Structure 1
Amino acid sequence: MTLAEEFRSRNFTYTDSYVYHPNSISALILIFIEIPLLLRICPTSPAFDAFIRRFETNYMRAAIYFVMSAIQWISVAAARTSLIAAAIVLLIASAFYALAGVKGQGFVGSKTLGGQGVAQMIV
């Protein structure tokens, strides 16, 4: 069955097993952290927006990436899955954000993904 046939039949066999997985929440949070434009165009609650805006420094991003990596490692310890790749990548990203914080580099947001100046581009 092709992907187009699955959409027509509304039988999503490839994705439904992972959509309800607890680790998919990590992916959603990371998408909103890394693409702030989504906070402007997606209907989210003020509490969720405030939570996401807490991760605007290198140290806070290092912390959230480390926590997400720990969640993945615990998941991998419970059952060997391909999530080990996510655990490794999140741990490396956490290390790089921490290194940038230690070196005193300021966090630089992208205008393309929702940094400074996006409000003017939308309007």
Structure 2
Amino acid sequence: MGAFDEIKSRNFSLYGQWLGIVSIILLIVLGIVGFLNHVIFSIVGFVIAFILVFVEVPLCLKFCPTSPKLFAVVMFLSNLKGTGPLIATGVSLLLAAICYGIAAFTGQAFASSKLLGGTGVDNVKLNILREQAESATAAGDEYASLIKQLEAEDIQKSHEINSLQSKIKSLEDQLEKTENKLQVISLKSQEADIKAESLEKTVGELENQLENAESRYDELQVLNKAIMEEMAEYERQLEVA
């Protein structure tokens, strides 16, 4: 990864490191330029530059992330005796401190420039990929548990469906048997109706025969009465004779 890629990375710890390197150069150059006017602060600037060389380049301010802020205050104090070129180093150190502060505030992973022997933003991307992998794994586990739960629910629903199907089949069998019984009862009812009609006809015929027999009986009684009267008349005639 080149410097241009590091600039596009938007990682403020890298920006802070680059500003720290610029501050080292400015501390050395401007310390030499303003040495006669600010002897003490120029020497302090050389010491700060020496410290920053060991801090920024190999360790990348990992062990002393707030040092640019302190060094910026020192460089601004150098202007108490009069404005000098060291104010530029104070500004660059302040900007470096601001970049490190933004990186810490936004939770950006620490990164160091590859041009200075660091890893660039590869470790940042690696951490991001690792976090994404862990998040994907957690999501996969969650989905797996959800799938197992859905499978268990599906099995339970299948059992319930099978039970309902067996109940439906049993009810259908009972309904079929009931329909068969109703058909048998209907046939018997039709037969009973036919027999009832036949019996009604038979009863009607018997009633007619009974009426005829009664009328014949009445006729026979009248005839018998007439015969009895005639016999009584013959007996009286015989007695008289």
Instruction: Specify which of 36, 44, 50 is matched with residue 22 of structure 1.
Output: 44
Gaps of 5+ in 1: 1-14, 37-52, 117-123
- The TM-score normalised by the length of structure 1 is 0.56
Task: State the identity as a percent.
Answer: 29
Q: 1:109 aligns with which of 109, 112, 118?
A: 112
State the aligned residue count.
83
Could you list the per-position Cα deviations for residues 5-29 of structure 1 after superposition, in whole angstroms to 9, with x for gaps in the alignment? Answer: xxxxxxxxxx597497221111111
Aligned residues of 2:68 and 2:97 also touching (Cα < 8 A)? yes
Task: Map Cα deviations across residues 55-102 of structure 1 (whole Å, 9 max, x no partner).
Answer: 316xx42x1000000010111122321001111111011001100000
Q: Report which of the two has the higher share of helix.
A: 2
Q: Offset of 1:112 from its aligned partner? A: 3.6
- Shift, 1:113, TM fit: 1.5
CA contact (8 A) 2:71 2:93 kept: yes
Q: Name which of 94, 98, 112 aligns with 1:95.
A: 98
Paired with 2:44 and 2:99, the residues of 1 have a C-alpha distance of: 25
Tell me by how many angstroms 1:110 deviates: 2.9
Amino acid at match of 2:51: I
Q: RCO higher in 1 or 2 (8 Å CA, sep ≥ 6)?
A: 1
TM-score w.r.t. length of structure 2: 0.31
Hey, what's the Cα distance between the residues in 1 that align with 2:81 and 2:102?
30
For structure 2, the residue ranges without an aligned partner over 5 or more in a row are 1-31, 120-241
Aligned-partner SS, 1:22: helix
Question: In the alignment, residue 28 of structure 1 is paired with which amino acid?
Answer: F
Q: Which has the larger radius of gyration?
A: 2
Matches within 5 A, 1:21-100: 21-36=43-58, 55-56=61-62, 60-61=64-65, 63-100=66-103
Taking the aligned partners of 1:107 and 1:64, their CA distance within structure 2 comes to: 16
In 2, Cα distance between equivalents of 1:16 and 1:73 = 17
